[in-house]
Amino acid sequence: MIVRPPQHWFVRLFTWHGSVMPQILFRLLLNLGMSLIALLLYPWLTQLNAHLTLPPFSLLGIAIAIFLGFRNNASYSRYVEARKIWGSMMITSRSLIRQTLCAVNEGQSAKLAANLLIAYAWSLNHSLRETSAREDLQRLMGHSQADAILSRHSLANMMLLKIGEFYADLLRQGRVSEINYRNIDENLNELSHCLGGCERIATTPVPFAYSLILQRTVYLFCTLLPLALVADLHWLTPFVSVFISYTFLSWDAVAEEMEHPFGEGANNLALNAICTGIERNLLEMTEQRPLPPLKQVDRYYNLT
């Protein structure tokens, strides 16, 4: 994820890192090639009196822009919901440690709870990104317990079960009252909702048929557009065609990237930074040292 400081508008025009230009550059080059072909074929098409006109493309362009807007809104809604879920997870983790410190009034139990909650956050992070959680779980729980969790299918769900068993043991030992345990259990249920919300977003993308028909229409529009522009623009056709194609292709690329907020792209959620923030908060609350170094999201400054 990239968070940029305020930049001058002229500098931002030439920003490359974090934009979708690397993804669509080849497609823009194809459109440029199609524009040059249209220029070469124009005299021959004129003799045959066979060329496309602009009115159909104007109507189609308006329709594509509307549907791209809907798709971008849907993708951004998924992104915002994912960020709210992880924000709720951070709040709930802090609340659980605060309740443990106040209800149990014994530091060792709070430290164990903090390590379990940190391991839960990292296990969910790795599950969503389909990366290995072995290193983080072994660091937080030890090799034997980490191996037992890693042998299961849903790491985050098993970590949540382990956290529930930890607090249930405190209740059976009489170290936490039933009233406090009821409040703690409500926060555990909130963590379960966070897990379910992340799984829902990760496993339910925008319907494939919707994305497919939109992409086919955009690519067909961009391919045929030079044939419609060449009669009026002539040698300006490549410039205008590539600019219009950039607009539609970039919207499509942004929507596709935002549709998967848990990825590791420049415009996805900074899950590693969020998990490190949770870890630092919980370790500090339970007076554990050393704190992990704060992970900053990708920041690019204008150094000139």
Task: Tell me whether residue 283 is in a domain.
Answer: yes
Confidence at residue 94, expressed as pLDDT on a 0 to 100 scale: 94
In a domain, 159, yes or no: yes
Any domain includes 47: no
Residue 197 belongs to a domain? yes
Tell me the whole-structure pTM to 2 decimals.
0.84
Range of the domain at 133: 83-205+269-288
Q: Confirm whether 45 is domain-assigned.
A: no
> For residue range 172-193, what is the model confidence (pLDDT) as tens digits?
988 888 899 999 999 999 999 9
d(CA 188, CA 159): 11
Both tokens assigned to 48: 């045959």
pLDDT, tens digit, 9 for 90 and up, residues 122-138:
999 999 998 888 888 88
Cα gap 4→19, rounded to integer Å: 12
Residue 252 lies in a domain: no
Residue 190 maps to a domain = yes
Q: Is 151 part of a structural domain of the chain? A: yes
Q: How many domains does the chain divide into?
A: 1
Taking alpha carbons only, the member of 57, 80, 77 closest to residue 248 is 57
Amino acid at site 219: Y
